[in-house]
Amino acid sequence: MPVVPASFTVEDAVNPNANKDSRQVPLVAVTLVRREIPLMLTPNKKVKELDVPKEELDKEMAEVLGEAGEKGLTELYDASVRDFDAGTILNGRVIQVIGDDVVVDVGYKSEGIVSLKEFPDPSAVKEGAQIEVLLEAVEDDSGLIVLSKRKADRIRGWENIINKHKEGDAVTGRVMRKIKGGLLVDIGVPVFLPASQIDIRRPGDIAEYIGQDVTCKILKIDEERRNIVVSRRRLIEEKRAEMKEKLLKELQVGQMRRGVVKNIADFGAFVDLGGIDGLLHITDMSWGRVSHPSEVVALDQEIEVKILHIDYQQERIALGLKQKTESPWEQVERKYPVGSRVRGEVVNIVNYGAFVKLEEGVEGLVHISEMSWTRRINHPSEVVAIGDIIEVVVLDINKDKQEISLGMRQTEVNPWTLVKEKYPPGTVIEGRVRNLTNYGAFIEIEEGIDGLLHVSDMSWTKKVAHPQEIVKKGQKLRAVVLSVDSDKKRVALGMKQLEEDPWSREIPEKFHPGDIVKGVVTKLTNFGVFVEIDHDLEGLLHISELADQKVETPEEMVKVGQEINVVVLRVDTDDRKIGLSLKRVPAEYNPGLYAKPAPPPAGAEAPATAPTPPPAGEVPAASPAAAPEIVSQGAPPAAAPEVVSPGAPSAAAPEVVSPGAPSDSPAPTGTKPAGDQSVPGGAAPEASPGVTESGKTGG
């Protein structure tokens, strides 16, 4: 058993608060004395465990107790020890501070320990101080009672808040820390301030409020869960509503007011005028170009603005900053007359042009079409860049719309004024095919000067459906200048004009009405067939000239790519057309093209439209009923040239020959014996070898 000072009595052990000297007794000694007193009063197995004779123990007890005796000690102990229930708030006295622990006596048979961290100000904790603690457990593993000052303070604070405040009351507290979804504020008890209720506009970092005192309004009290939700925003809104009502009565359009920038967006800034926010649009910040409002104003900046418009129903106010000074457009016509040359800075580039700043607040547009006389520009960035200082000419001013049209090419000589002098009609030029369209090809004559080669000016004879049939992109070629229009910036070119027009002499001399020529079917239409009878020269075989019988579609008679012999009906040099006929050609010139006709009835003449093929070596007579417009006919199919003129020797027969002069005697209407090469209407030739299709004489 520990040694106890001579001045220490049983009463001190039972009630240590009665003797101040008891504070000098170690805590363990007091605890042991308290625990042993009941054991000494009631003999049991515990007394035997002390290994002290009972007589000696009774003697020592009698000396210690004195006159009080055993009965008085029991009564004194029972009076000092009360019933302690967990969850009860007790009054205690600080006995001693040991390191981070505070020993607190609450009148129980053992003391409790409270962590020094549970005190708001640990340095203010002194021995003998009276505090309130919460009894959490009667004894822990070490035999001490479990106490908590923080929980006791929280319970007392909650009771105090409930008794003094209700929902809707304003309270002030200090922000303790940041938690999920908001802040924790100490108003006597920790309460929750949601992030959305901190301010009218949610701050960027709510941690800025930690350590600050804030005044809030109680939104909700949950007594069962001991939870309180507060709002600082609600309190601010109520105050602003009062200020807004007063301010709206004072504001007038045109007034100058001071305010604080509270929020910045891409389209402008919101300025607090003292109870209501006004919008300072980005277009009203400066007469010059503003890419973003942050270039002009900053958050929490105090500025002076002008009231532009007030919507009392919607409670919206339009503000202006640039309206504090005169618009530079007021003197723009005097400072920048049309036709004047000025210098400016390129401040913006768009697909259709570039904006040039002439002075702060005055910008003009150089359209992409006004950047160069001749250069083909796909995007303005090919010519200028932001920040470039360029010289321009003022083309037009619209003061009402605040628009100025500028030109860059007007600072140079227009090369189109020299094109007519440089390339008069008839000039042969050499250029490169720059682009192809459905209607022609653009030929680059020189840098920026293009001429149009129309499809109709590519060939005298060929029908050109698309330019790529004649020329290719990037190809170099020669052409003739047909016309120049400097005002419309157009040059007409021609390729076919480099050669003589074959329709003026060559074609009329080569093809005559009545000639039989060989050609190739190139195209079928619903009205007829186009036949190429010479290089790039086509004639029209009308559907009515395909056969004597009615033909519904040309496909019934011919097909594309088929070679046929046709008769030239007419050569129209004015309209550049050649008319052809198939039905007027004797059948032997196109073997297999006609079906064999049925024999005529007895005594009836053979139809003129389907003559009987003559025997080998004979040429049919040119009867009017069979071929009224055919003047010349060739030799029999076995040795017929492509085009044979009657009356000429076979060995020297040209491809196309005019029909011979008629003979004095009437032409025979019958067939000639085999081997006779004479042609009706012409003189009989001398005996000679046959003529092949190649024009050479046979053996």
Statement to judge: residues 407 and 477 lie in one domain: no
Nearest to 446 by CA among 407, 419, 425: 419
Statement to judge: residues 97 and 220 lie in one domain: no
Q: In one letter, which amino acid is 125?
A: V
**227-255 per-position pLDDT tens digit:** 899 999 998 888 888 888 888 888 889 88
pLDDT of the residue at 81: 55
Residue whose structure tokens are 């480099």: 498
Q: DSSP per residue over 148-210, as a string?
A: EHHHHHHHHHHHHHHHH--TT-EEEEEEEEEETTEEEEESSSEEEEEGGGSSSS--S-GGGGT
Chain centroid offset of residue 509 CA: 67
- Ranges under pLDDT 70 in the chain: 1-52, 64-84, 140-143, 594-699
**77-108 per-position pLDDT tens digit:** 555 555 567 778 888 899 888 888 888 888 87
Q: In one letter, which amino acid is 79?
A: A
pLDDT of the residue at 528: 93
Tell me whether residue 689 is in a domain: no
pLDDT of the residue at 405: 95
Burial class (CB in 10 A: 0-12, 13-18, 19+), 371: buried
User: What are the tokens at 690?
Assistant: 């046959």
Statement to judge: residues 474 and 583 lie in one domain: no
Do residues 691 and 653 lie in contact, with contact meaning Cβ atoms separated by under 8 Å?
Answer: yes
Task: Name the domain boundary from 267, 294, 324.
Answer: 324
pLDDT of the residue at 139: 72
Statement to judge: residues 569 and 482 lie in one domain: no
Do residues 148 and 198 lie in contact, with contact meaning Cβ atoms separated by under 8 Å?
Answer: no
Q: What is the DSSP letter of 699?
A: -
Statement to judge: residues 147 and 27 lie in one domain: yes
Tell me whether residue 655 is in a domain: no
Statement to judge: residues 598 and 533 lie in one domain: yes
Angle at which helices 69-80 and 27-41 cross, to 10°? 130
Task: Name the domain boundary from 211, 235, 259.
Answer: 235
pLDDT of the residue at 627: 34
Kindly state the helix (H) or strand (E) to which residue 216 belongs, with its residue range: strand 213-222
Tell me whether residue 669 is in a domain: no
Statement to judge: residues 422 and 473 lie in one domain: yes
Tell me whether residue 443 is in a domain: yes
- What angle is formed at CA 480 by the lines to CA 475 and CA 484, rounded to 5 degrees? 110
Q: DSSP per residue over 53-103, as a string?
A: -HHHHHHHHHHHHTTSHHHHHHHHHHHH-----TT-EEEEEEEEEETTEEE
**Dihedral angle computed from the Cα positions of residues 622, 624, 626 and 630, in that order, rounded to the nearest 10 degrees:** 60
Statement to judge: residues 24 and 122 lie in one domain: yes
pLDDT of the residue at 640: 34
Q: What is the CATH number of the domain that holds 185?
A: 2.40.50.140
Q: Which domain holds residue 476?
A: 416-498
Do residues 215 and 172 lie in contact, with contact meaning Cβ atoms separated by under 8 Å?
Answer: yes
Do residues 125 and 119 lie in contact, with contact meaning Cβ atoms separated by under 8 Å?
Answer: yes
Statement to judge: residues 598 and 491 lie in one domain: no
Tell me whether residue 243 is in a domain: no
Do residues 233 and 226 lie in contact, with contact meaning Cβ atoms separated by under 8 Å?
Answer: no
User: Which residues neighbour 227 within 8 Å (Cβ) at sequence distance 6 or greater?
Assistant: 192, 220, 221
Tell me whether residue 646 is in a domain: no
User: Which residues neighbour 83 within 8 Å (Cβ) at sequence distance 6 or greater?
Assistant: none
**Dihedral angle computed from the Cα positions of residues 365, 371, 373 and 377, in that order, rounded to the nearest 10 degrees:** -120
Statement to judge: residues 231 and 287 lie in one domain: no
User: Which residues neighbour 12 within 8 Å (Cβ) at sequence distance 6 or greater?
Assistant: 18, 19, 21, 22, 25
pLDDT of the residue at 73: 62
Number of structural domains found in the chain: 6
Statement to judge: residues 390 and 429 lie in one domain: no
How far is residue 528's CA from residue 355's CA, in Å, rounded to a whole number?
61
How far is residue 178's CA from residue 59's CA, in Å, rounded to a whole number?
66
How far is residue 624's CA from residue 681's CA, in Å, rounded to a whole number?
13
pLDDT of the residue at 101: 87
How far is residue 269's CA from residue 285's CA, in Å, rounded to a whole number?
9
Tell me whether residue 670 is in a domain: no
Tell me whether residue 639 is in a domain: no
pLDDT of the residue at 289: 82
- What three-state secondary structure class fits 28? helix
pLDDT of the residue at 626: 35
Task: Name the domain boundary from 203, 235, 267.
Answer: 235
Statement to judge: residues 315 and 357 lie in one domain: no
